[in-house]
Amino acid sequence: MGEVDPAFIQDVEHRPKLAATQTEGIPLIDLAPLAGYSPSDSAVDASAAAFKGLVAEIGEACKKWGFFFALYLVVVLDSFLFSLEQTYASLCSIFLCFSSSSEKYSFWFSVSCLLFFISNNRFFVVVNHGVAAEKRERIEWKAREFFGQSLEEKKKVRRDEKQVLGYYEMEHTKNVRDWKEVSDCTVQEPMLVAASPEDGEEAITEWINQWPEYPPGLREACEEYAQELKKVAYKLISVITSSLIAQSLGLPVNRFDEFYKDQTSFIRLNHYPPCPVPHLALGLGRHKDSGALTILAQDNVEGLQVKKKGDGEWIVVKPIPDAFIINVGSIMQVWSNDIYESVEHRVMVNSKKERFSIPFFFNPSHYTMVQPLKELTDEHNPPKYRAYKWGKFLVNRARSNLKKLDVENLQIYHFRL
Ligand SMILES: O=C(O)CCC(=O)C(=O)O
Ligand SMILES: [Fe+2]
């Protein structure tokens, strides 16, 4: 990335402290009732008594530990799962970490949950999500090979205004340049999106993947990983729906299915090179993910931090081998009318080690009107957001993150009522 351009330098109040607070605690809940789950039978599985018992159990666990608990630890023996909880309005953020395990568990979405309660932030950690370790290793290795090439090579698949998917190294978050390079590919082709961010313009366009010649096999690795992660996302959505059902008896268990038919989910390969000024710059500035759900694979180099509610302290999410970290995005915050709150997070860089991460952003179809679910609102609890069209939001963001602007780009608070 060459000389340190002032575009990378964070304002003083956003500069990272190099010694940040670590996460520690973890309770566990056995989610074995999810064994055998597959997206096609979500209605059956998710309505089963055992599943309901599980959701209730998680609610109890939340009650028991509440948000006073700073840290809590449970050691888990064999298989784990996790889950989202029934919520308590004051609780806000959720991160889930999943670990992969051997293939034999693919049919057993069994498990347990590692819940981190840090003040009133919650994290969940899980294994046995069914993604084979070698599939994850393959995409991680291909990402290393891809980013290991010269800038000239990588620029052959560079994104631009029209080809929005591909390589780029100029992303700005909150109008400060990130110390990273990325490559995006869609999960479902063709990916249909709005052609323009302007309201009233109905034209649709396709975003097409650009695959580099080198490394061979990158495409296959991404495609196979995408299929696996889609399955994990559906499982998560079914648990989230179930926990929301506890808030509203009128919410059908397949409530979210309609949004994912023509999904705009995508995978991002993130590479954070070593940085000579880690105390001044960030790999990725503070932000909330704008989709519904993110499933993140990080390597073993520390860097991800989430913001604790209340005192605003930044907490390191320590890497767990083979773990996925899952966080609720802004769409889920709107759908749930703030029952779930999207977590603010950022990435620190360091002067010695490079770091890689691979988020899977689970997003609905471009024509989805994002608004609080009507089953979760009434005259006592009115909608907190007006509806917005996801495809327009997505295109607006895609056009606004490559350069410094004078104002913050589009956020859900712009739709707050
Ligand atoms: O690299 C990470 O750990 C986080 C990446 C992230 O938050 C993102 O790409 O939105
Ligand atoms: Fe993020």
For residue range 337-369, what is the model confidence (pLDDT) as tens digits?
887 778 788 999 999 999 999 999 999 999 999
Q: Give the residue range(s) of CATH 2.60.120.330 domains in the chain.
A: 6-18+133-415
State how far the alpha carbon of 216 is from the alpha carbons of 208, 223, 318, 385, in Å.
19, 13, 32, 45
Predicted complex ipTM exceeds 0.95 = yes
Tell me the pLDDT tens digit for each residue of 28-56.
Answer: 334 445 555 444 444 444 445 665 655 55
Note the pLDDT of residue 248.
64
Around Cβ 300, how many Cβ atoms within 10 Å? 12
Residue bearing the CA closest to ligand 1, atom 8: 359
Fold of 6-18+133-415: Jelly Rolls (2.60.120)
Give the span between the Cα atoms of 325 and 296, in whole angstroms.
5
Q: Is the C-beta atom of 357 inside 6 A of ligand 1?
A: yes
Q: Among 49, 217, 41, 42, which residue's Cα sits nearest to residue 142?
A: 217
Give the span between the Cα atoms of 110 and 210, in whole angstroms.
37
- Cite the beta strand spans of 281-321 per DSSP E: 284-287, 293-298, 304-307, 314-316
Give the span between the Cα atoms of 25 and 114, in whole angstroms.
8
Phi, psi for 47 (deg, rounded to 5): -95, -5
Q: Is the C-beta atom of 289 inside 6 A of ligand 1?
A: yes
| Overall pTM surpassing 0.95 (yes/no) | no
Note the pLDDT of residue 396.
87
Do residues 181 and 201 touch, judged by C-beta distance below 8 A? no
Note the pLDDT of residue 2.
52
Note the pLDDT of residue 364.
94
Q: Is the C-beta atom of 186 inside 6 A of ligand 1?
A: no
Distance between alpha carbon 208 and the CA centroid of its chain, in Å? Answer: 22
Note the pLDDT of residue 213.
94
Strand partners, 160: none
Phi, psi for 337 (deg, rounded to 5): 55, 45
Given a cut of 70, the residues of the chain with pLDDT beneath it are 1-2, 19-130, 239-240, 242-250, 309-310, 401-403, 406
Residue bearing the CA closest to ligand 1, atom 6: 359
Q: Is the C-beta atom of 359 inside 6 A of ligand 1?
A: yes
Kindly give the pairing relationship between strand 172-173 and strand 191-194: unpaired
Q: Which residue type does 62 have?
A: C
**Residues lining ligand 2 (ion), CB within 5 A?**
289
Give the tokens for residue 334: 């709107």
Note the pLDDT of residue 32.
47
Note the pLDDT of residue 50.
60
